[in-house]
Structure formats: C-alpha cells, structure tokens
A and B are shown apart, each in its own frame.
Chain A
Amino acid sequence: MSDEGLDGEGAGRASRRTVLAMGAIAASTVVTIRPAFAQAAGSVMNCQIPIPAPEAGAQNIAADGSLVAPGTPGSFPPAPRPITGEEAKALLNSGMSPPGMDGQQAQAYANYIRRLQAGTSGFTCYASLQMPR
C-alpha cells in the first residue's frame, strides 16, 4: 500500500525513465495536516478576544502589540471590552477599527491579536479567523 502512488516504482526500470525535478532548496515539500477544530468551532460560535488576556495582568499595549507597563509612552490602555471575532476579522483584514476605538489604538490591538499564542485567552478565537475555506 505504501508503495503506491510513487510514480518511480517499476517505471524506473522501463526504457523511458521518469523525470524527477529536485526543486529549490527552500521550497517546502512536507505539509502536515493540523487539527482544525478551532477554525470550525469558531465558525459555529461567536467568540471574543480580551485585550490583553486577563492572565497577563494590568498592562498596556504598545504600538507593535507587545505588552508594556502602564504609563509607557506611546502605549494604549487595555481595550474597554473584549473585541468580538467579527470585529477582529474586519480589523485584521481591512483595518476597520471596532466601534469606539481610534485608529492607532485599534492598530496596536490588531498587532496584539497577531501575536497571540496558543494557551492565551483569545487564541482559539484568533485561530478561528485565520483559515480561509
């Protein structure tokens, strides 16, 4: 079973040999299927992203989305309410600020969302917005 599908087998010994293109060194040739439950779960739910995550404590958000101490110049206070999945989608895809937030502040939040990692509040929501289907 595992030998099927590789056009080399048998054909290699035939008179006309199969061509194998080696491709560029940097080209990726192995893609692993990842679980997609977050994407699909997000598509059946409304989700929200608290900024910052409650577990991060009382911190401000810098323009690049990183967390900084309150009062850091150029940083923005926590979002007054969680950003909904729909708002996050509009913000990330077309730069549209959620209601009640100004442009620079919203961009800092957008960068925060882009930096979310697994295990952080809001990550499954962010992941659910990612996968084009």
Chain B
Amino acid sequence: MSARSLVQVLSGGVLPHEATGWNALIAVARAELLLGSLAFRLEGAAVPAKVAAIFADARAQADQGHVAALWEAEMARRALAAVDCPVILLKGTAYAAAGLQAGMGRSIGDLDILVPRDRLDEVEAALLRADWEWVKPDPYDDAYYRRWMHELPPLIHKARDRMIDVHHTILPLTARVKPDSGGLIADSIALGNGLRILSREDMIVHAAAHLLADGDLAGGLRNLWDIHCLRAEFGSEAGSSLRLQARADRHGLGSQVARAIRLSDQLYGAGTEWLNSADPLVVRRLLARDGWAREIRPATRLGFYVRSHWLRMPPAMLARHLWAKARR
C-alpha cells in the first residue's frame, strides 16, 4: 500500500531503497498533491540523483505557484480595497502568506477568502467590476449555493483564469454545526499587507472542518499534513492544545478537531493516540492508493461519498440534492 509509504516518509521514516519504491512514492505524492511538500521535507537528504532532480523541479514549481497564489490574493486585495472590510485568506494561500511550514511546497489552487456575511453583496459587486466572472450560470447551482452554501458560487478571473471562492463562514449553512463566524473574523490576524489570516487555533479548526465535515475525504492526506504542520509549529506554546479544544468547542467542531488530531498523529506523528472505532475506516480510505497511484477499494470510497453528503445537509435536502445530481 503505497500511500502508506508516502505518509511514513513525510513523517521521517526510512526512504525507499530501490527504484520501484521511489516510483511509487513519487506517483502517489503527485496524486495526493504532496510532491512539493515531500520535496521540501527531503531537501538535502541523501536520495538518488534522479530523485533529487525531480524534487528540485517540484520545489521550483511550488515556489512559482506561491508567487502566483500570493499575487492573486494581492489582486483581490486591490479589487476589494474600496469595500473596506476585513479580507481573510484561507487554506494554502494563508499558509504561504504567513510563511508557515504547512505552506512549504504546498500546491495552491483556488484563492479562498473569508469576508463578513453582511458585506458579501459589496464584495461580489467589487469582484465583478474587477473582471471576475461567474464560472457557470447554472440556475440550480446558483440558487443552491446562495441559499445553502458557505460561499458564493465560484468566480473566475477573465484574464488570469484563476478561481476565487468567497466564504462567509467555514461550513455550509446546512450543516448542523454552526461555527462562530463573527469570532473567526474578530480574532483574525493582520498580515501587514492589507490582508488577514485566521488565528492559529481557527486555522486548525478550519482545516479539520474542511477535512471531516465538508468533503468526501479526497485530498485528505494533504489536509492532514496541513494539520500536522500547523500543530507542530503552534503546539510548542504552553496550553495551546487546551486552547485549541476550547476554540473548537466554541465553533461546535470539538469532535471533528479531536478526530483530525488523532488522525494526523496516527499518520504523521507518534501514532500512539487511541483510535476511535470509526477511525480505522477513515485511515483505510485515506491510504487507498497503490504503487501506481490508482485509487483502490471503490466500495469504501462510494460509502464515504454518501456519508460526506449526509454530513453536509439535513437528510431531506440530501435526497433533493442527489436527485438533482442524478438528473445530470
């Protein structure tokens, strides 16, 4: 099981000692969008010359990706300057902007920002004025997003071809837990360039929410690597884990955060934490890639797909949503 080998190498385990192992490691790392992180993690390590070249390329690519991601954030800042509301960077862009270890080599796709819900209309109008446009004018999607989601329907910039997701909270409105979005904004931290990031604790809470409550676990290995790195960097401060748990409880995400911490410890840390009965299934799903980076165990995956939707919204809406999807 090669995803296992990726996880072990990231957490400081032994390196492959023959080509098959390296090929598998690199393919799985690419598939999980962790090749850049792996390349930084192993910078300077004794690896075969070919692997060193692949890693050097991956680091350069990640660096250039960060330039583009931070530039997109800066262009959003310029577009939103007149709105005069806090603009909080989320996920990869936030890690890169703050120079966090979690950002090292991380691939960054869309720009995710959080703004106050009562400023959403102004933010939307300002972005549309600055040449962002709707990705798809599908009436179902639009109504669905606006009514139920924690973000605007995605926008894409006409000239730069990059997407922006504008969030006003960190979970869909349909989820049963309601994070304290006012608290997210009130405790956010200014970066000094006109943009903000979440507080340390909220950053971890958001990563955990994203992993366990807001998806089908696809990309989960990267997500847990984020959480692992964030905790390793923040955790040295005394009392931080108590503070983290208190913060998670305030957002109604105590159990999700606790589970994300267990999983990240299990995969990337000491691995001694007691696993809850459902955890092995999650780990199994997270590590479901073979040495050719093929996804294995489709039955498990399907199970999780349904489950993640169930967590996203109340059951009656789930049926409606699935029905609308099935007609597509």
Please say whether the chains A and B touch (CB closer than 8 A): yes
Name A's B-contacting residues (CB within 8 A).
32, 34-35, 54-58, 117-120
Q: A56–B161 contact, CB under 8 A?
A: no
Q: A55-B136, A119-B135 are in contact. List 11 more A-B contacts (CB 8 A).
A: A54-B328, A56-B136, A57-B324, A58-B327, A58-B328, A117-B135, A117-B156, A118-B135, A119-B156, A119-B163, A120-B136
Interface residues of B (CB under 8 A from A): 135-136, 138, 140, 154, 156, 159, 161, 163, 324, 327-328
> Which of A34, A35, A58, A119 has a CB less than 8 Å from the CB of B136?
A119
7 pairs, A vs B, C-beta closer than 8 Å: A35-B161, A54-B328, A56-B138, A58-B327, A117-B135, A118-B135, A118-B161
Which B residues lie within 8 Å of A58 (CB)?
A: 327-328
**A-B interface contact total, Cβ < 8 Å:** 30
B158 (CB) vs chain A CBs: closest residue: A118
A57 to B135, CA, bound (A): 16
| A57 surroundings in chain B (CB, below 8 A) | 140, 324, 327-328
Nearest chain A CB to B119's CB is how many angstroms away?
26
Q: How far is the CB of A72 from the nearest CB of chain B, in Å?
A: 14
Question: With A57-B328, A58-B328 known to touch, is A118 a contact of B138 (CB < 8 Å)?
Answer: no
| A114–chain B nearest beta-carbon distance, Å | 15
Complex interface: chain B residues within 8 A of A118 (CB): 135, 156, 161
Q: Which residues of A contact B138 (CB under 8 A)?
A: 55-56
Query: Closest A-chain residue to B135, C-beta based?
Result: A119
In the complex the two chains form, what is the Cα distance from A32 to B327 in whole Å?
Answer: 40
Q: Which residue of A lies closest to B163 (CB)?
A: A119
Bound CA–CA A35/B135 (angstroms): 19
Question: Which A residues are CB-close (under 8 A) to B324?
Answer: 57
Task: With CB as the reference atom, state the residue of chain B lying closest to A54.
Answer: B328
Determine the distance from Cα of A34 to Cα of B328 in the docked complex, in whole angstroms.
Answer: 32
Which of chain B's residues have a CB closer than 8 A to the CB of A120? 135-136
A54: chain B residues within 8 A (beta carbon): 328
Bound-complex Cα distance A118 to B328 (A): 19
Beta-carbon nearest neighbor of A35 in chain B: B161
Q: Which 3 A-B pairs have the closest CB atoms?
A: A57-B328, A119-B135, A57-B327
| A55→B328 contact, CB < 8 A | yes
Tell me, in angstroms, the Cα distance from A120 to B134 when the chains sit together. 12
Report the separation of the CA atoms of residues A76 and B163 in the bound assembly, to the nearest whole angstrom: 31
Q: Across the interface, which residues of B come within 8 angstroms of A119, CB to CB?
A: 135-136, 154, 156, 163
Contact partners of B159 in chain A: CB under 8 A: 32, 34
Give the Cβ gap from A30 to chain B, nearest Cβ, in Å.
10
| Chain B residue at minimal CB-CB distance from A58 | B327
Is there an interface contact between B161 and A34, defined as CB atoms closer than 8 Å? yes
B154: chain A residues at CB < 8 Å are 119
Q: Compute how far the CA of A55 lies from the CA of B135 in the bound complex, rounded to whole angstroms.
A: 13
The smallest C-beta distance from B162 to any residue of chain A, in angstroms, reads: 10
Chain B: CB-nearest residue to A115: B137
Give the docked Cα–Cα distance between A10 and B250 (Å): 65
Q: Do B328 and A56 touch (CB < 8 A)?
A: yes
Q: What residues on B are CB-neighbors of A117 within 8 Å?
A: 135-136, 156
